[in-house]
Structure 1
Amino acid sequence: MSQLYQPDLFLQERIPRKPYCTDDLSYGIRPRSYKTAITRRYIQVNPPHLRTFLLFDLDYAGAALAWEDNNLPMPAWAAINRENTHAHLAYALSAPVLTADFGGRQAALRYLAAIEAAYRAKLGGDDGFSGLITKNPMHPHWELLRGVPDAVRGYDLPYLADFVDLERFKPYVGRSNVEAVGLGRNCTVFNVVSRWAYENVLEYKQQGLTLAG
């Protein structure tokens, strides 16, 4: 990955104003100012209720180049454990996706969830990785492989989708998905709650009742 003429990985408007961060996960994480958080080994890069980066935890040697081995686009960065060469890979999104359900577009969230699941499967990423915080690529504790400028600026969803088969990862409404992980959890919760609400409102109407009683 070239290190010439790179945009800043951490433009302040792309990550939370007070990211969760820590130098040692065993001591927990706490929100700090941007100026402080950027000096910690681990940092939160996605703002609350928004997804600006797709993050993957690859627990195997040589993980930094897994994207190349699996014919995927170059990530914005790979932050590498110097001892075992395991890595966190980050894909920047050119436009953030709302992950909460207040005014959010569920179609965009499902699309992103399918892409995330497909990339995780192809990269062999850890299903248990929540992505709340990640290895800070700017911290000297980690070795950094930085993407080309286009990768750092971010890809749009259709471009990312071109590299994977999404059919078996789409969390459709009504589909049983007991193994949902990552963004798929958001979609599954929304599907269950919206289906429950629809069925119960319909029952109320059939009984001639109103929500006001």
Structure 2
Amino acid sequence: MDTAKALLLSDEQWGSDVLLPHRPFATNHLEHGQYRMSRDDALTMRYIQHSPHALLGSIVIDCDHPDAAMRAFEKPSDHPEPNWVSQSPSGRAHLGWWLGDHRVCRTDSARLSPLRLAHRIERGLCISVGGDFSYGGQLTKNPIHPEWETLYGPADPYTLRDLATIHTPRQAPRRPDRSAGLGRNVTMFDTARTWAYPQWWSHRDGTADQWLQLVLQRCHAVNTEFADPLPFVEVRATAYSIGKWIWRNFDEATFRARQAARGSKGGKVMTPAKREANRTRATKFDLATALEYAL
């Protein structure tokens, strides 16, 4: 029995290992706002920030069904057991999968692949348990708080690939009006950095602060298109990550080489093979159309 207990997550392990921020945002009442505080004080609150803005340490799904625990543990739809389930008296719960040392950086504009994978994994888990796609993901029900009934699962963390299921989409939507959860971070990264690269040339003679302010304005504009906008601190972190990386790594030679490489790729899009394939399709279509009219 002691061995079985040792294999399950505990309050102590959640508070010391799973909870990542040194000064998390927390609150007792969501409608009254959230405030940054010490870990000890935050752990006495009903809702707490499980991961810092820059680093995703857990994937949390809001399961707004009275049988959330059953969906999580007893009848899993091909998903691994969550590390914890914190449920209210109504049965509705937050389900958490801990990533341990496989946490995902959310502010490194040069490595979007892990964040995109995390976005797809999040959507797959949400589909699997019937979760709420509009859940923002920043604050979770504090598993240690006595108001929630917490059921603990495996004590060992998962990798992202461990959490892939038959419900994991091959590609997640990136349109701002369809983005939720981690998809907002991905969309903001993709949209803002794609916009910022060519903009650097026109603003290279300004100051770094002016450049960062410009990128921040663009990120803010993208954020306003989300149905559930990201907190300003996340928008600023994303903007500064993109802006600082470009300002630090771009010079005129690098920019010209990048533009030349893009132009070269653009010129090679229509290869002779593609042109022949298009001509063949067009010929077949014209012949079919002619026969249809002839009949």
Query: TM class, shorter-chain normalised?
Result: 0.7 to 0.9
The superposition leaves residues 34-70 of structure 1 with CA deviations (integer Å, 9 ceiling, x where unpaired) of 1111111111111121100111111111112213432
5+ residue gaps, structure 1: none
Work out which of the residue numbers 12, 35, 41 in structure 1 matches 2:46: 41
State the one-letter code of the partner of 1:98: C
Counterpart position of 2:86: 79
SS in 1 for 2:116: helix
Q: TM-score, normalised by structure 1?
A: 0.82
Compute the displacement of 1:26 (Å): 2.5
- Root-mean-square deviation (CA, aligned residues, Å) is 2.4
Compute the displacement of 1:199 (Å): 5.1
SS in 1 for 2:70: helix
Asked if the contact 2:124–2:165 (Cα under 8 Å) also holds between the matched residues in 1, the reply is no
Q: Structure 1 pair 194/80, CA: closer, same or farther in 2 (3 Å)?
A: same
Give the Cα–Cα distance (whole angstroms) in 1 for the partners of residues 118 and 91 of structure 2. 28
SS in 2 for 1:188: helix
Asked if the contact 2:78–2:165 (Cα under 8 Å) also holds between the matched residues in 1, the reply is no
- Structure with higher helix content: 2
Counterpart position of 2:26: 21
- Structure with higher strand content: 1
Give the Cα–Cα distance (whole angstroms) in 2 for the partners of residues 40 and 33 of structure 1. 11
SS in 2 for 1:39: coil
Give the Cα–Cα distance (whole angstroms) in 2 for the partners of residues 90 and 96 of structure 1. 13
Structure 1 segments of 4+ aligned residues over 6 angstroms from their partners: none
Give the Cα–Cα distance (whole angstroms) in 2 for the partners of residues 110 and 148 of structure 1. 25
2:164 is the counterpart of 1:161 = yes
The superposition leaves residues 146-167 of structure 1 with CA deviations (integer Å, 9 ceiling, x where unpaired) of 01222xxx10011112454331
The superposition leaves residues 177-210 of structure 1 with CA deviations (integer Å, 9 ceiling, x where unpaired) of 6301111111111111232234556xx6xxxx88
Counterpart position of 1:183: 182
Compute the displacement of 1:121 (Å): 2.1
Q: Structure 1 pair 4/39, CA: closer, same or farther in 2 (3 Å)?
A: same
TM alignment of 1:134-145, pairs within 5 A: 134-145=140-151
Query: Alignment identity in percent?
Result: 32
SS in 2 for 1:167: coil
Give the Cα–Cα distance (whole angstroms) in 1 for the partners of residues 72 and 96 of structure 2. 11
Counterpart position of 2:204: 211
TM alignment of 1:107-126, pairs within 5 A: 107-126=113-132
Give the Cα–Cα distance (whole angstroms) in 1 for the partners of residues 161 and 86 of structure 2. 25
The superposition leaves residues 111-156 of structure 1 with CA deviations (integer Å, 9 ceiling, x where unpaired) of 1111111211222211221111111111110111001222xxx100
Q: Structure 1 pair 21/52, CA: closer, same or farther in 2 (3 Å)?
A: same
Q: TM-score, normalised by structure 2?
A: 0.60
Work out which of the residue numbers 61, 72, 83 in structure 2 matches 1:56: 61
SS in 1 for 2:14: coil
Compute the displacement of 1:15 (Å): 1.8
5+ residue gaps, structure 2: 207-295
Q: Structure 1 pair 35/189, CA: closer, same or farther in 2 (3 Å)?
A: same
- Pick 1 or 2: higher relative contact order, CA cutoff 8 A, min separation 6: 1
User: How many positions carry a matched residue from both structures?
Assistant: 197
2:81 is the counterpart of 1:88 = no
2:155 is the counterpart of 1:149 = yes
Compute the displacement of 1:3 (Å): 7.2
